[in-house]
Structures are given as structure tokens and as C-alpha cells.
Amino acid sequence: MFKVDYNPDVLSCLANLSNDEVFTPPALANEILDILPKELWSNKETTFLDPVSKSGIFLREIVKRLIAGLEDEIPDMQTRVNHILKNQLFGIAITELTSLLSRRSLYCSKSANGKYSICNDLDTESGNILFDKIQHTWKNGKCEYCNASRDVYDREDIFESHAYQFIHTNKPEELFNMKFDVIIGNPPYQLSDGGHGISAKPIFHLFVQQAKKLNPRYLSMIIPARWYAGGKGLDEFRNEMLNCKNIRTIVDFESSKECFEAVNIAGGICYFLWDKSYRGDCRVVNSNNDFELNRPLNEYPIFIRDNRSISILKKVTAKRKISLRKYTFPRNPFGFATFERGEDKPFKDSISLLSSKGFGYVYNQNIKKNREIINKYKVLIGRLVPSNGELDVNPEDGYRVITNTRIIKPGEINTESYLVLGAFDSKQEVENFNNFINLKFPRFLIRQSISSVNVTRDCFKFVPYEDFTRIWTDEELYNKYNLSQLEIDFIESNIRAVV
């Protein structure tokens, strides 16, 4: 009698919940399975492992494909189901709860050998979904395997340890003592690192690296895109990925909400296909515009996510002489942490200290770094991308990329809340530079290096350092770097004007 909008698949409902370990929606799981070779679904010898099973969605959808693909070879449905569930599908749950969810999804019963299980050829309750509750191995306050903080995760047994079984071993091959053709999954993304409850350490890359140790034919995982630019434990992983010729496909999602409706993941999401037998360029797919390009991943020191940017970067890097990165200062340029405020009133030999709360005053002799620029004009921006990484920005409205700039005068310094983009002797130069960094062209180039909520010195590697004794316009920069009208239109539509 009434029209009701509802979600018919319970695993779709689970995927719409916000959680530390993000559940994969069925539609997304099938997109990822679609990039695997189709012949896998008609091969009764192919083995699959999800080493980070949560809802069991990957295993469930694989079953559907194998049931259809093996119909001619194993005509009897029950015999076919028994063979698939006993010999081809395996999983490692990340918690006791997800082990029950995964078994329910795969066997239609919380007990693999129970009365209601669709497989009548398994001997144990767990079937092929492994879960053993283990603990972290502490050394010097950190876990030897995942680097979790002992202060945060050494707690009573009633709490989840988050010591994920797949990465808490030096011999992952001994978990099942068998060879897997396909490893696929959606690993946990991060763990709190004890940074006052507001920072976290990425761990998703540990699952990718561990999976490679099993030497599968194919490896596919969906992970945060923050590895594109490295940082915070990801530099080695970024270099591994960029220099790996086995990556056949990367599908990039600039907004995580394209994949996970209720979860914001700064920097977006990607999934990839690693193919043991493949050597060559990678097919990069931009989900927001369906633009594909086969290209080498190591063309630049970071991964450039938008294919349409490549031609622009080639023109800029070929012609520019010096990068702005050379003149941008690392975080915390003067040695004052974000929370420091200084004294309320000035005193003899004091220096003005700008924090997020305004100006305070500190002793000149307490400035330990970059003293040579104390008496220069400086241009600052906040060290975070505006609006929590601009996660909810409508691309049609364009991106701001950086916070509002601010000029501080000689005799003024700043806390770690701000990044110093340049220091100048004259007021005219600093004003010209401030005008330049707010143009669309430089901000577009900055955005190519951002893959999280943080803006760092490395984000300025593609921005050319110009002559700031003069004023620049976007049109002059477009002409200088010989951009086509198509490239200009792309920048103009991608970056919004500073008001």
C-alpha cells in the first residue's frame, strides 16, 4: 500500500554503517571481482583467500560465480556447492563477531557443519573461516608486527585486541598450509598510535605486503589512497607500488563516499589488481570521470591520480627551473608545537608567536630553528586541507586546496599550526608571492600531491618557483607553460577562485 525504500541485502545495510573496519558493499565487491580473469570462475582447482573477512561478502559473491561457472563440470548442485565450499574458498576473520558474520554469509549458518549449513561435507564449526584470538607482541612499547601502541591496545580480554591474525605472524603460509591462486579483501586501514586520541598509524599496507609473501597468482585489495604520496610509514610501500610492474589495474575514487556511503576517508580510496605473470604499464581508471590511461606508475615520485593531469605536469616539469618545494619550510619551522601560545603581553626582547588562537609572545633565545628568517616577511597557510580534506566538496564547484594565506611581518613567527611557504626581504615580493599562490594554476599543481588531510612541504614539488619581483596571472602562467585550451578548461573547472 505504501512505497518503501529499503535495502534488500543485509550486507548492503552493514556496509552503510560507520565502523573502524569498513564493511564492503556487495556492489563494490562485485566491481573488484570483475577485474579478475573470467576463466577463474569455471576452474574447479582455483583457490581463493580473504585474509581480512568481515561480512564475508567477497566469499559469498565468489560462491555465486563459481556455482554458475562450474555447472557444466559438476552438474549436481549439492555436489558442486560442497566442492566449492570445502576446497576453493577460505577466509581469516578479523574478529570473533566477523567470523560469525562471514560463516553466516558463506554457509548460511553460524556453524559450517551445522544443521542449516548449505555444505554437508565440512567437519568443523568454523569450516574454512579461521579465527583465533591472539594478542600483540610488545617490544619497547610497540607491537613487533603492526607497531600498535601498548598504551592504547594492551588491555583487558573483554576488549577487542585488534591484533589481526594475518599480519601477526612471520609465516602466513602456515595458517592454512596451502597455496592460494587469488587473495582478495578489504583490510583494516589504521590503528590509533596514542597521539592524544586524534592520530592514527596506517596498517592497510601490511596486509598487502603479507599477501605477497604467499605468492598468489592474483592479489586485489581495496585500500586508502593516502599511499599515493607516502608519509607516516607509507614511503616504503609507495615506492614498492610505484616500481611494481605486476600491477595491471588501479581504480581510483577521489571521494570515499563513492565506495562507502557513510564513511569519510581523507584522500579517497582505490582498489588494484596485482598479477604475478604481468609485466607492463598500469591501466589507471578515474572513477569520477571514467577516464582511463595506460601509464607507468613510477613516472613521478608520487602517484598522480587524475589521468587528465599528466599532460599538464609533463609540460610544467619540462620547463620549470626550480620547484617551490625548495623554498617551502618543513612543518614546525621554529620549534613551537601547535598547542603553544606564548605569553599574553610583550616583554623585553620578545618575539610575536602566531598560533591558531592568535598572537602571543616568546623569548627570542628560545627560537632554535630557522632564525635567519625571523626578520623576513613570510607567507603562511594552515597545514591541513580545508573542510576536513574537502571530502564533501561538489567537484562541479571546484576545490580550494589550501586554507587562506596569511602574511606575517619581520619579527613574527608561527607555531606548527601553519606551514611557511616562503620568506622574503621586501613587502612587494611577499605580496606578489601571496597573489601567485592563490592563483588557480599553482593550487591545481599543489592538489596533485595531496592524498590526505595534511599539506606538507612535498605537496609543492610540482609548483614552479617564479620571479616574484613581478605580479603573475593565471593567463600568463598558462601561456608560459604552453597549456592547451582543453588543459586550461580542466584547471579552471577543477579549482575555484579565491574570494
Distance, CA of 342 to CA of 350 (rounded, Å)? 10
**φ, ψ (nearest 5 deg) of residue 83:** -65, -45
- For residue 151, the SS3 value is helix
Burial of 233: CB neighbours in 10 Å, binned 0-12, 13-18, 19+? middle
pLDDT score at 1: 30
Distance, CA of 385 to CA of 450 (rounded, Å)? 9
Q: Which of 209, 211, 221 is nearest to 181 (CA)?
A: 211
pLDDT score at 439: 98
For the chain, what percentages of helix, strand and coil (3-state, to nearest 5) are there?
A: 35, 20, 45
Instruction: Compute the Cα dihedral for 175, 49, 200, 443 and give only its sign.
Output: positive
Mean pLDDT score, 145-163: 89
Cα 372 vs. chain centroid, distance in angstroms?
Answer: 37
pLDDT score at 289: 74
Q: Which CATH architecture has domain 10-305?
A: 3-Layer(aba) Sandwich (3.40)
Mean pLDDT score, 33-58: 97
Of 14-28, 110-124, 268-282, the range with the lowest mean pLDDT is 14-28
What confidence category does residue 199 fall into, taking pLDDT thresholds of 50, 70 and 90? low
Alpha helices in 294-347 (DSSP H): 310-319
Distance, CA of 100 to CA of 97 (rounded, Å)? 5
- For residue 96, the SS3 value is helix
pLDDT score at 195: 55
97-144 pLDDT per residue, tens: 999 999 999 999 989 999 999 999 999 999 999 999 999 999 999 999
Mean pLDDT score, 13-35: 76
Mean pLDDT score, 206-219: 97
Residue given cell 600568463 in the structure block: 476
What confidence category does residue 325 fall into, taking pLDDT thresholds of 50, 70 and 90? very high
What confidence category does residue 193 fall into, taking pLDDT thresholds of 50, 70 and 90? confident
Distance, CA of 436 to CA of 455 (rounded, Å)? 18
What confidence category does residue 254 fall into, taking pLDDT thresholds of 50, 70 and 90? confident
Q: What is the pTM of this model?
A: 0.85
pLDDT exceeding 70 applies to what percent of the chain?
94
Query: Residue 5 pLDDT > 90, yes or no?
Result: no
- For residue 183, the SS3 value is strand
Query: Residue 196 pLDDT > 60, yes or no?
Result: no
What confidence category does residue 11 fall into, taking pLDDT thresholds of 50, 70 and 90? low
Cα 88 vs. chain centroid, distance in angstroms?
Answer: 31
Distance, CA of 67 to CA of 443 (rounded, Å)? 51
Mean pLDDT score, 424-440: 98
Mean pLDDT score, 149-174: 91
Q: Where are the domains of the chain?
A: 10-305, 313-494
pLDDT score at 278: 97
